[in-house]
Amino acid sequence: GTYGRVLGFELQGTEKLDDRGLEVCFVDTGKERIELIAATREDSEVSAFLKKRGEGIHHICVRVADIDVSLEEMKERGARIIGDGVQSGAHNTRVAFLHPKGTHGVLIELVECKQEEGLS
pLDDT of residue 120: 42
pLDDT of residue 117: 47
Cβ neighbours of residue 67 under 8 Å, at least 6 residues apart? 86, 94, 95, 96, 110, 111, 112
Please give the average pLDDT of every successive group of 10 residues along the chain, which has 120 residues.
71 90 85 84 90 84 91 92 89 91 87 62
